[in-house]
Every structure is written in C-alpha cells, then in structure tokens.
C-alpha cells in the first residue's frame, strides 16, 4: 500500500469515528409548582412504564399510528423514575409520621405529539390509591386514569421536557384534589 493510500485510509477512518452526534440529556423541571395542594400523607411508589416508554430516547408520536424517537436526545433517567420524582415533588415529601395513603401507577403516555396545529406534550398515567395500612391489599380507594396535554413552544426535545413537566403538574393537581376527598 502506498503512503498516499495509507494517509487517505487513516483520514477516512478518523472521519467516520467523529461523525456520530453527541447525546443530549434532558430531565423534568422538579421544582414544585404549588398547584398540587393536598394535606394528606401520601407515599408514592415507583411508577411502571408502558412498553414503548422503556427506552430513554424521547418519544415522538408523529401520527396517530406512527411512533418515532429523537436519535440523539434522551432522558437522563427512565421515564418511570422521572415521573415518580416529579409527582413526589408536586405532592410533597413523605412524612414517616403521617402515612395515610399509597399512590402507585403506570405511565401510559409520555411523548411529544406532532399535530397539524404544531407540537404538544402529552402525558397519561393510570393511578391507584390505597390506604396505608391496606397497602398490600388489592382494594383501592381510587383507580383513575389522568392525562394532560400542553402546547410546546417548538418541536424540540428541550421544549418537550418543559411541556411534559407542566403536563405532570396539571395531573398532580388533579390527583391531589381527588385524594383530598378520599375517606382515609
């Protein structure tokens, strides 16, 4: 092999190695909004996620039947962990002296939706609430699905993270209102 071909081969190989895009990581805004007012002592268990949300890539629902993911934009943690942390931030820290209810659930949707009117963030969670002392029982005081959609400023991953934070704040406020009215 000539020196010229060797130099071209090295240049080509090094060019291939540097063309991959860096990964950008996103999280939710964990600052409590103050919208989820509940005086009850709630223990929030780790939520589970539906199968399409098990990836760390941010999900885009391009059409009602087509799902895509941002290739180089990921959540810093699993969706179930982020949703659990955000709900804990919104509904308050667990007070070990005052445990009245256990909240658990499944994240059913957590995505950017591309619509004819622009992009929006959409979150949907299925929640169950049990009395603390009956935490291992199957009898629930509340079983309900909550969802919220928030328009995004732009169809970008950072805007999706911000709008999904706001959507979870709306959901947390609905959950708090429902728990406040439970016979604990």
Would you state the pLDDT for residue 111?
Answer: 97
State the DSSP code for 134: G
Would you state the pLDDT for residue 39?
Answer: 83
Would you state the pLDDT for residue 136?
Answer: 62
Residue % of the chain over a pLDDT of 90: 71
**More confidently predicted of 92 and 18:** 92
This prediction's pTM: 0.86
Mean pLDDT estimate for the chain: 88
CA distances 79 to 24, 66, 127, 160, 180, Å, are 16, 20, 15, 13, 26
Work out the number of other CB atoms within 10 angstroms of the CB of residue 9. Answer: 11
Averaged pLDDT for residues 127-148:
84
Residue 11, pLDDT > 70, answer no
Residues 179/103, Cβ–Cβ less than 8 Å: yes
Would you state the pLDDT for residue 9?
Answer: 46
Would you state the pLDDT for residue 7?
Answer: 44
Residue 19, pLDDT > 70, answer no
- From the list 182, 164, 170, the residue with the least C-alpha distance to 146 is 170
Averaged pLDDT for residues 121-134:
91
Q: How far, in Å, CA of 182 to CA of 184, rounded? A: 6
């Amino acid at each position: 092999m000539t020196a010229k071909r060797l130099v071209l081969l090295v240049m080509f190989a090094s060019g291939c190695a540097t063309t991959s895009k860096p990964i950008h990581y996103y999280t939710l805004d964990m600052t409590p909004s103050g919208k989820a007012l509940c005086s009850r002592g709630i223990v929030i268990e780790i939520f589970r996620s539906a199968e399409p949300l098990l990836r760390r890539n941010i999900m885009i629902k391009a059409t009602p039947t087509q799902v895509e993911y941002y290739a180089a934009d990921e959540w810093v943690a699993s969706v179930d962990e982020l949703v659990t942390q955000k709900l804990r931030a919104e509904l308050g820290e667990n007070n070990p002296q005052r445990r009245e209810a256990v909240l658990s659930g499944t994240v059913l949707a957590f995505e950017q939706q591309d619509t004819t009117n622009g992009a929006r963030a959409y979150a949907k969670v299925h929640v169950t609430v049990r009395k603390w002392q009956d935490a291992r029982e199957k009898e629930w005081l509340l079983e309900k699905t909550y969802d919220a959609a928030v328009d995004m400023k732009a169809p970008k991953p950072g805007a999706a993270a911000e709008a999904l934070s706001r959507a979870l704040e709306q959901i947390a406020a609905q959950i708090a209102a429902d728990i406040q009215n439970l016979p604990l």
